[in-house]
Structure 1
Amino acid sequence: MRALTIRQPWAGAIAHQTKRVENRTWKLPAKHVGARVLIHAGAQPDKWAVVYGPNLDVFSALVATATFTGCHWSEDGKCCGPWGEERIYHWELADVVRLPKPVPATGALGFWTPTADVVIAVEQQLAEAVR
């Protein structure tokens, strides 16, 4: 399973089912459309963000899983509610599952592959949540 690092508070907003679009300057690669990915809260917060809520003080950890369902260019940003920015690609998210306990991990730019022990820790939490 691949992971994507997103700065806080945006990773927390995704994990808590409020943010359903990721704004990026680059188009989502077609191979990731429909793929389940891990959402990683980066080591540094977005210094321009002013958002408050739970789970936003978690850094350098996996906080959720999600599926990218599509990608589109937005000229005005209005298509994706309050989360969409203008003149940027919107990566659409669905099927978000917040991890009960964040899993510490070192992230990277772009899509990256977590270590086997990190993936096992995530899968154990997801299996327990289904029970």
Structure 2
Amino acid sequence: MRALTIRQPYADAIVWGTKRTENRSRPIPAGHLGTTILIHAAKDLHASGVVASDFTSETWPDTRSAIIGTAVLDSCHQATADCCVPWGMSDHWHWILRDCRPLPRPVPATGALGLWTPPADVLHDVQVQFWEPTPTAPTGAAS
């Protein structure tokens, strides 16, 4: 299973909110279309740029340097005018995500660029949670 590192608050917006478009400089590698990936929240500071408060929530956990959820890589396309609003950026490839869900407990991990394979112990700690109930959004979180 592969993981994708994403800066906060965007990682939370994927697993707790409604962000279903991830902006990347390259298309999804063909062999990964339709597969489930792990969403890893980066260690670094918040992503640069302004995020509309209508689309994020101060009640999201803001976990860093950990696997926080899963998503399916559904499809991919190059940006067109006004597509994938409000999350899509022009001049990027839009990776479309579906079936996004948070893990019951974050699993600490060091991220990497692109799609990467977590170490066996991290994968084990993630996989044991697949049979646990999906957590509900924190109180007041956007859905």
Judge same fold: TM > 0.5, yes or no: yes
Where do 4+ consecutive residues of structure 1 move more than 3 Å?
49-52
Asked if residue 121 in structure 1 is aligned to residue 122 in structure 2, the reply is no
Conserved in 2, the CA contact under 8 Å of 1:23 and 1:91? yes
Counterpart pick for 1:107 among 111, 117, 142 = 111
Conserved in 2, the CA contact under 8 Å of 1:84 and 1:90? yes
Please state which structure has a larger fraction of its residues in strand.
1
TM-score (norm 1): 0.91
Equivalent pairs counted in the alignment come to 129
TM-score (norm 2): 0.83
Query: Aligned Cα RMSD in Å?
Result: 1.5
2:49 counterpart residue number: 48
Task: Among all aligned residue pairs of Structure 1 and Structure 2, give the percentage whose two residues are the same amino acid.
Answer: 49
> Aligned-pair distance for 1:55?
3.0
Letter aligned with residue 64 of structure 1:
G
Deviations 1:75-95 (A, max 9, x none): 32x221211111211000001
For residues 3 and 90 of structure 1, the distance between their equivalents in structure 2, rounded to whole angstroms, comes to: 17
Where does the alignment leave 5 or more consecutive residues of structure 2 unmatched? 135-143
2:72 counterpart residue number: 67
For residues 55 and 121 of structure 1, the distance between their equivalents in structure 2, rounded to whole angstroms, comes to: 22
Asked if residue 97 in structure 1 is aligned to residue 98 in structure 2, the reply is no
For residues 86 and 124 of structure 2, the distance between their equivalents in structure 1, rounded to whole angstroms, comes to: 35
Conserved in 1, the CA contact under 8 Å of 2:104 and 2:132? no
> Aligned-pair distance for 1:56?
4.9
For residues 90 and 80 of structure 1, the distance between their equivalents in structure 2, rounded to whole angstroms, comes to: 8
CA separation of 1:9/1:123 partners in 2, compared to 1, >3 Å: closer, same or farther?
A: same
Deviations 1:10-69 (A, max 9, x none): 101001131001001111111111011000001112132435423352110011101001
Where does the alignment leave 5 or more consecutive residues of structure 1 unmatched? none
For residues 119 and 68 of structure 2, the distance between their equivalents in structure 1, rounded to whole angstroms, comes to: 15
Please state which structure has a larger fraction of its residues in helix.
1
